[in-house]
Chains A and B, each alone.
Chain A
Amino acid sequence: MKTTHSNFYRHFGTRLFLLVMAIFVSFPLVFAFSQSLMTNQQVNRWPPPIIPLSPTLSSFYTLFTQPDLKLVLWLRNSIFAASSYTFVVLIICAPAAYAFARLHFPGKKALFGLLLVTVMLPSQVTLIPNFLLMKDLKFLDTFHALIWPGAANVFGVFLLRQFFMQIPRELEEAAILDGASFWGRFWYVTLPLSTNALTALGILVFLGHYNDLLWPFIVTNSIDMRTLPVGLQILNSSYAGQYRPLVLAGAVFATVPIMVFYIIFQRRIIQGVTMSGMGGR
């Protein structure tokens, strides 16, 4: 009894700080959600109302019926593009990472050094050339432009290579004695032991693509090909002045899928992010 009390007082400052942080983090989202349930007149008032006294779904109704706003389609585009991209990245990067982690081949050091140099370059250097290439290939305003240009994900190769190198070699040696090919060692031994790393990378790659703004903004054009972040920007620039709850409803709509995803995968997401920061450890 006594210890819990002294413990409580010892960490009182910490508790208070965490409480303030929790409010700081969640208040903007709670406020946006709460005001998305109000009418335009209710929102444009001083003091700003926090609790919706007569909640209404009218701005959500407008959000889904306005012909120039296609949030459900944009969400579908985002999910389709991000999951295809994630799939492509995993398929391309895992074998490459295995080659760097386990196989000997001439030019390995030079090639790895080249990857290290390019990872230091800001990705925006490739923006204009890749845009012009998409234009020449007639890929603009198609899913191709959203999926292929980022497929060679150097970060993914580093992360998986680091992870593969920590798998004990003995496990593979058993497979070698059984006469397994290089592909067999990769596919039947290394990959099944790496599901954690693959999931972590998959989640990070998915979220990064799902939240990207500049590239999809540049390479898509028609209202039917926009992704959710681009759509939100359009929503904001056309309606923020006249119909604020509509804009907030859009923000809420875009937040819900991510929150559901986070609630389901919170441990994996946090592990994956930490792992990526600690160089795959």
Chain B
Amino acid sequence: MSTTGRVRTSGSLNRDGIHVPVILRLRTREAIAAYIFLAPFLIFFSIFVLRAVFTAMNLSLYDWQILKPKRPFVGLANYRELLGDEVWWIAVKNTIVFTFMTVSGTTVLALSAAIAVTKPIKGHGFYRVLLYMPALLSVGVVGLTWSWLLSTQFGIINYGLSFLGLNPINWLGNAELVLPALVLTTIWWGFGFPMLIFIAGIQGIPEILYEAARIDGAVGRQLFFSITLPLLRPTMLFVTVTGVIAHFQVFGQPFIMTNGGPGRASYTVIFYLYEIAWRAFRMGYGSAVAVALAVIMAFFTIVQFKFIGQQFEY
């Protein structure tokens, strides 16, 4: 019999106040072990996450520019400037429009693909693998490829549209069309992840529910709207929340494909943050932008949980 075996027995006696020192020793040993297990993680977490978050909040109160030796405390002046910053609001508006279009398009496409792939047809495994493929590419590959597909003069997309009698369209150079073009690119790139999540969600619905509904006389579309869709609501919440969080941080597509243009038509929040901090070297103001971004994203996440979460109660 090992010591730990005896300790376990005395554990039950603890309530009567017997053998307490032994228990304490075990508890302490366990706590010490836990902290040793956690130590490497906590060291990196404190330096690169905790300290960084507090530094960002602190920096946002200073006029901190890399090229200036003096970095005076300015209180909330950066935030006041942000409220009146026209470009910031353009970036916020663009990001919200982009996120809304991308998340709705992605969700519809991912759900349709997931439903199609889970039908009992030949080759569904192959389709699943193929349709997920673009999600593995880097934004560099996606951006390089799609800016050529979308080219005005020699773009294959405009060639396809010419059969519908349309004149060549300047997708990435037109302030009205640049966001939809980036949205299309992003949907192509990103629908694979929600598709896999929907597939798992659909496969998690017990077959017996469908059988019961069929006995009650439900068919095709009715089955979808009365069983599949309602039971996929938690999955839907997950997909939209993670989608909003991911796409709100869009950077690579405008950075590579449009450089924020034409004009400022494809400026996004992170693109603007990059520009302030690494093209204008204003680290204090950039930190204010980053903190404001965190606040906006927290707001959207809470709203979604409230809004969709409430509808989900039966």
List A residues at the B interface (Cβ < 8 Å). 11, 14-15, 17-18, 21-22, 24-26, 28-29, 31-32, 35, 43-48, 50, 91-93, 95-96, 98-99, 103-106, 108, 111, 114-115, 118, 120-133, 148-152, 154, 157, 176-179, 181-183, 186, 207, 210-211, 213-214, 218, 228-233, 235-236, 240, 244, 247-248, 250-251, 254-255, 258-259, 261-262, 266, 269-270, 273-274, 277-278
Contact = CB atoms under 8 A, between A and B. Distances in A.
Interface stretch (B30-38, B78-86, B210-218): B30-38
Given A21-B127, A99-B34, A211-B138, A125 B200 contact: no
A154 B178 CA distance: 35
Interface residues of B, number: 92
A199 to B, nearest CB: 16
Given A11-B121, A14-B121, A122 B193 contact: no
A210 B138 contact: yes
Given A103-B33, A104-B34, A127-B290, A148 B44 contact: yes
Given A26-B130, A125-B293, A129-B56, A258 B287 contact: no
B209 to A, nearest CB: 19
B294 A122 contact: yes
Contacts of B248: 122
Residue with the highest number of chain B CB atoms closer than 10 Å, among A129, A231, A270 = A129
A152 B45 contact: yes
Given A44-B154, A95-B37, A229-B138, A179 B2 contact: yes
Contacts of B274: 214, 218
Shortest beta-carbon contacts, A-B, top 9: A232-B140, A126-B52, A96-B41, A105-B34, A129-B55, A152-B44, A152-B45, A211-B138, A182-B33
Given A92-B40, A129-B56, A25 B133 contact: yes
B196 A270 contact: yes
Nearest to A212: B138
Nearest to B302: A120
B132 interface: yes
Nearest to A182: B33
A128 B33 CA distance: 35
Contacts of B52: 125-126, 129-130, 133
A208 B27 CA distance: 39
Contacts, number: 279
Residue with the highest number of chain B CB atoms closer than 10 Å, among A149, A210, A232 = A232
Nearest to B128: A270
A46 B290 contact: no
A96 B159 contact: no
A176 B193 CA distance: 40
A131 B290 CA distance: 13
B131 A150 contact: no
B117 interface: yes
Given A247-B144, A274-B197, A122 B245 contact: yes
Given A48-B155, A118-B49, A273-B196, 8 more contacts: A28-B145, A48-B154, A96-B38, A157-B41, A211-B139, A229-B138, A270-B196, A273-B193
B225 interface: no
Interface stretch (B14-22, B99-107, B251-259): B251-259
B136 interface: yes
B236 interface: no
Contacts of B117: 18
Interface in B124-173: 127-134, 136-141, 143-149, 153-156, 159
A96 B59 contact: no
